[in-house]
Structure 1
Amino acid sequence: MSTRAWPSREEWQAKAEYAVRTGCTMYERLDRLQPDTDWRSLGEEIEEEELGTPAAAEMRTLLTAEIARLRALFPERPDRTRERGIWFCGLEGQAYNDACNLGALEGMRADVHRARREGNWAAVTWQLGRLRNSYPEITLTESLLAAHDRLTAISDSISGRRRQAAEAAEQAAADKEIARRATDEAWAKELERRDRIDSPRVIRVGPQTAMSKDDQMT
């Protein structure tokens, strides 16, 4: 028999909202309620494509130029992954930093190409932000900066709309659970649940021998 100290009915009721908010994230709850929802408007979708398509193309051009410059610093850079890893670990100082940037920019260029092909404008926006904030040696044009500002504003608007819906769904679930726990029926079910935990059934697996008279429960 368990000696677990269960909360009183009043304590259990008081934890209703806490149970809802910690049971899953508000976004997980929203995705269960509204799976595969696109939170952007048609106008936002069109504008993202109109801004993201040329921005991705211009990014690739800038990235390709910087990648070519960095590759020229390392004519001995191995092509095979294992050998390249050994070579990379032997670098120091500025050479190490340049090699890090080279690998990162190569990965960014591939990600931007894939995002543009798939129409993933949020990914294009994120990668453009990385380029803008972390690689000052690459000069972005005014048009690219303006595109990033607008794409970020659209992304923030979409995120805010989704967050508002998630918060509303969580609050509705909390209100429902508070009301449920106030009923005698819910409390009775909670007591049954506790009893199952305190006195679990023993399930025997595999062939069993016949119980003797002394083993039988009364």
Structure 2
Amino acid sequence: MTTRAWPSREEWQANAEYAVRTFCTPAERLAHINPEAVWSSLAEDIEFEELATEAAKAARPLLTQEISRLRQAFPDRPAAGRTRSLWVIKLEGQRYDDACNLGALEEMRRNLQRAVRNGNWGEIGWETGRLYDHYRPAITMGPALCDAVLRMRALNAAARKRHDEAADAVVEAAVVAEIARRATDEAWQQQLERRASIDSPRVIRVGAQTSPSKGDQVT
């Protein structure tokens, strides 16, 4: 069996930082260390819930109005399923775009209704954000709804910033710890043993028969 060319001890030690940074993502490392962490404050969560509740209430009639307008333009639209998909594919130009928008807005309204029932405030933020980004000015969103969408984004961004900073700190600490670990004789010995087990793996024989123990015998 050919033995692979392993790096020297000096090369292995120099590779410590690279090994840490490529083992997993910073977010995965943080989740492993602190899986229950919450990156928003209680006050922020309450504010987000209030904003999402009002945003959903304001967005639903706007969606219904635009959905009704688009439906009137497609009296021949099939109810659902494969028939509708084939119908959409045959459309061209603005009619194709309008039909796709109609389906997307119907889905958005369903998602908002479900999110309100389930108290999924984050999904409300996501769906009203889609409305803000992709359906203005065709759908006129009032200043209060626009402000709510932007504020929810700001709250999400603040929580995400805290998360990312914590994840980066965890990685930096892991790099320092791994560099220190690889500098020890004990870690090097463990590395040599690992290499030996890879170069000379144990052979496990398959198919060997053994007599059942007394407790395994069926009477």
TM exceeding 0.5: yes
Distance 1:88 1:56 in 2: 29
For 1:159 and 1:120, the matched residues in 2 are separated by 18
Match of 1:70 in 2: 70
Following superposition, the deviation at residue 126 of structure 1 comes to 2.1
The count of aligned residue pairs is 209
- Cα displacement (A) at 1:115: 2.4
Q: Match of 2:131?
A: 131
Deviations 1:136-163 (A, max 9, x none): 2111100011111211111111111111
Q: What is the distance in 2 between the residues matched to 1:12 and 1:159?
A: 34
Name the Cα RMSD after superposition.
1.6
Distance 1:177 1:58, change over 3 A: same
Task: Give the structure 2 partner of residue 163 of structure 1.
Answer: 164
CA distance in 2, matches of 1:19, 1:113: 46
Question: What secondary structure is seen at the aligned counterpart in 2 of 1:178?
Answer: helix
Percent identity (aligned) = 57
How far apart, CA to CA, are the structure 2 residues paired with 1:80 and 1:105? 15
One-letter code aligned to 1:196 = S
Secondary structure in structure 1 of the residue aligned to 2:201: coil
Distance 2:208 2:44 in 1: 64
- Whole-angstrom distance in 2 between the partners of 1:6 and 1:65: 68
Could you say which residue in structure 2 is the equivalent of 1:184?
185
The whole-number CA distance in structure 2 between the counterparts of 1:27 and 1:151 is 22
For 1:204, the equivalent position in structure 2 comes to 205
Shift of the alpha carbon at 1:120? 2.7
Deviation of 1:24 (Å)? 0.8
1:39 is displaced (CA, Å) by 1.4
Distance in 2 of aligned mates of 1:200 and 1:110: 56
Q: Residue in 2 aligned with 1:23?
A: 23
Q: Normalising to structure 1: TM-score of the pair?
A: 0.90
Unmatched runs of 5 consecutive residues or more in structure 2: 210-219
Per-residue CA distance 1:116-140 (angstroms, 9 max, x = gap): 3333323222222211111121111
TM-score (norm 2): 0.90
- Answer yes or no: is the 8 Å Cα contact 1:2–1:199 preserved in 2: no
- CA drift of 1:10 comes to 1.0
